[in-house]
Structure 1
Amino acid sequence: MEVKMKIGMLTWDCFGKEDMSEAFKRLGHDVVECPFLDNAEPEDKGAVEGLERQIRESDPDLLFSFNYFPIVAMVCKNLGIPYMSWVYDSPHVRMYHYTIAYPTNYVFVFDSAVYEEFHKGGVPTVHYLPMAANTDRLREMNHFREFGKTPWKPQHEVAFVGALYREKHQFYRRLTGITDYTRGYLEGLIGAQKLVYGYNFVQEALPDKIIKDMQKSLPMQVRAGEVESIEYLFAQYVINRQITALERFELLAAAAEKYGLDLYTPDQTVQIPGCSNHGSLDAYAWAPYVYKMSSVNLNITLRSILKGIPLRAFEIMGAGGFLLTNYQEDFLSYFTPDEDFVYFESREDMLSKIAYYLKNDDERKQIARNGFEKIASRHTYVHRAEEMLSYWKHGEVR
């Protein structure tokens, strides 16, 4: 018989907290919300003591949060409470903190490459767990008449929801004082990586000379208590983000030129011929309508996600939308290409597959149905909650 537990859920401005809370409750557990400032650090003694008092008052059997927070790990270790976190950001530098190895931690990451890195490093508290979708909630979101009254009504058959990373404060744009050699090296590295899906070589291709020159314009440093390398910071936060910015713009511009495009992105200044930029869209309340109403939903993965399946892909399939995505290795462990989803390997491949599936409605709709059924039967938040709790109950380490 399942033992009823009291689960403390740290609530901050994150996606999925409602779905995860519902999943724990459906499994028969109580959930108590614990408001949390996600910028608190373990070096802040006052913040640690305040969080300890808050957790004692809630008195949970375990604590859960989306993403990993060293201060929470420290408090849970002090109180002897299991800390369960599910990381969906990439990169997530807070994982690279000495607290990650605390025995009270159960840290789940959606990118198998990140799991492999920690596993090889001898950290037994990190586990691999893909993202999920709440298919019950998404299935019920069929008020299309209401959606049509909003400023976000689709105008084309192809859509993309997500950031373009072209903001003025983007780190790569701050590299104004680097040498011509460094600039040429980085542009060559970016150009080469853009041609390759399935393997990211940016971090290993950054020599000390290039790092030191970049640091003159962008003085990144590893913070106290963290164990990531300076190469990691520049590769993931600077270069891979720039690759994503270039790649998304180029691929979306190509799709818009040939087929038209509905773009939902925070930057309303972006103008692309053939594209209707609708601005920002609430991912929880409105994005599922886009996924349902668009014939082709594009996913162009952030390059710092090395193998993992982005949350956007689960939401698209979980809403019953047709997913056309770049290649990511982890897809193949759970879904069948051309049956549950479709992937592309180049700009030309993407364009040809858009053309094919816009002409072949029945095949496209069947793939969307298959993807939805696969999510509903194996990849909901309830499935994930059961998996996470099993690690704690049975002490499983893999």
Structure 2
Amino acid sequence: MLTEQAAVHVNQVLTSADRGRADGLVAGFDEGYLRGRANVIVNRERPAFPVRQKRVLYVGSGKGFPYSPIDEAITTTLRDLTSELIVATPSDSIPQLAALHTPDLVLALDGLELPTDYIDAVRAMGIPTAIWFTDDPYYTDMTVAISPHYDYVFTLERNCLEPYRAAGSPNVHYLPFAAYTDHYRPTLIQSPIRRNLGFIGSAYWNRVHFLRPVMPALAEQGLMINGIWWDRLPEFSQYADRIELGKWMGPVETAEVYSGTKIVLNLHRSPFEEDVNHNGAGILAASPNPRTFEISACATLQLVDARDDLATFYTPGVEIETFSTADELVDKVRFYLTHEKERREIALRALDRTLRDHTYANRLNDMLTVIFG
């Protein structure tokens, strides 16, 4: 016969095993439910955008990664929205290509590698030109100078509208980037990546200073970081097992990490770090970064520092979650890691809103409407 002490021990072991089995069943159900709902949202039929009978000459950034995925998103989408697309680089003779193909529009991304005399020559042919700036307001010292050479200027930062107009650009429009769903999408089967909390991005100093006081609390919740410069963190050695230092991930791998992470942090960079920015006018940043849309497209809960224009795109507390202080960030991480249903529903609503309103097809259709009516 078992002694009383041994019986208690056996009961505790069985109880722990039963509890673990029950927790595993719940976690499996939650994961399957999330993936199933995401699959329904991804495959939902959505209205198609018109195909315009226009020929577009697109000039990519010429900068390689990380700009090349944006070039891919734009070129792939434009092929679906126009009758013909010609793709070029800043090193090509753009005036010769324009004379050869007589496009209805020459569109440039970024434009810092593209000689402005090329654009002037194209405009002299009577061909409309447009530019989509990629990094506002961080490099406006340079972009404001080239903006008047284009007929249409598109910026992803609301606060850059007036500086471009003041520089002499006649048609300036607010057009943020979006999610390219060939890259950013949820994993529709159980993800091989299992993280509670993650951040992917460079260690700009504002991020280091913001996160440093709460790193112990976030590490307790399972924080994992991928990115460059994180050895700037004075306590880096304490968190080295949680930081994959110096790794640049492509968009597909990034999306897989987002999709397999319960909560993804999004902390915007500062427009005032002089060693990496060229923003002598001190233009504030009000608009969400491209990561905002990309994370939301992966059916994961996003915790983002609240920018003024964020609510234009997602409803806080419904489709996205925000924080203003480091303590608020920690509190919300703890809440959502213990409230799976609430976390899951916000993540799914973010996915649905993104696929409905924040794809490159949405954005480029808006651009073409501005230019061609």
Please say whether Structure 1 and Structure 2 have the same fold, judged by a TM-score greater than 0.5.
yes
Partner residue, 1:75 = 118
Cα deviation 1:323-343 (Å, max 9, x = unaligned): 101010111122110001000
Partner residue, 1:302 = 269
1:66/1:141 Cα in 2 relative to 1: closer, same or farther (>3 Å)? Answer: farther
In structure 1, C-alpha distance between the alignment counterparts of 2:114 and 2:343, rounded to whole Å: 46
In structure 1, C-alpha distance between the alignment counterparts of 2:337 and 2:289, rounded to whole Å: 24
1:353/1:68 Cα in 2 relative to 1: closer, same or farther (>3 Å)? Answer: same
AA in 2 matched with 1:273: Q
Partner residue, 2:256 = 289
Does 1:162 find its partner at 2:201?
Answer: yes
Does 1:371 find its partner at 2:350?
Answer: yes
Cα deviation 1:48-74 (Å, max 9, x = unaligned): xx4433544454332223223384543
List alignment gaps of at least 5 residues for structure 2: 1-49, 272-283
1:135/1:70 Cα in 2 relative to 1: closer, same or farther (>3 Å)? Answer: closer
1:158/1:59 Cα in 2 relative to 1: closer, same or farther (>3 Å)? Answer: same
AA in 2 matched with 1:263: I
Deviation at 1:118, TM superposition (A): 3.1
Larger Rg: 2
Does 1:265 find its partner at 2:243?
Answer: no
TM-score, length basis structure 1: 0.67
Check whether the contact 1:244–1:302 (CA below 8 A) recurs between aligned residues: yes
Partner residue, 2:53 = 4
Deviation at 1:6, TM superposition (A): 2.1
1:159/1:138 Cα in 2 relative to 1: closer, same or farther (>3 Å)? Answer: same
In structure 1, C-alpha distance between the alignment counterparts of 2:217 and 2:153, rounded to whole Å: 38
In structure 2, C-alpha distance between the alignment counterparts of 1:341 and 1:112, rounded to whole Å: 20
AA in 1 matched with 2:242: S
Partner residue, 1:215 = none
AA in 1 matched with 2:132: W
Check whether the contact 2:59–2:107 (CA below 8 A) recurs between aligned residues: yes
Is the deviation greater in 64-73 or in 12-21? Answer: 64-73
TM-score, length basis structure 2: 0.71
SS of residue matched to 2:185: helix
AA in 2 matched with 1:288: A
Q: How does 1:198-347 map to 2 (within 5 A)?
A: 242-247=205-210, 249-250=211-212, 253-267=215-229, 269=231, 271=236, 273-274=238-239, 276-279=242-245, 280-304=247-271, 306-347=285-326
> How many matched pairs?
297
1:254/1:60 Cα in 2 relative to 1: closer, same or farther (>3 Å)? Answer: farther
1:374/1:5 Cα in 2 relative to 1: closer, same or farther (>3 Å)? Answer: same
In structure 1, C-alpha distance between the alignment counterparts of 2:330 and 2:96, rounded to whole Å: 56
Q: How does 1:127-146 map to 2 (within 5 A)?
A: 127-135=173-181, 137-139=183-185, 142=188
SS of residue matched to 1:285: helix
SS of residue matched to 2:111: coil
Cα deviation 1:124-147 (Å, max 9, x = unaligned): 3321112211235533755767xx
In structure 2, C-alpha distance between the alignment counterparts of 1:324 and 1:363, rounded to whole Å: 13
SS of residue matched to 2:251: coil
Partner residue, 1:27 = 81
Partner residue, 1:61 = 104
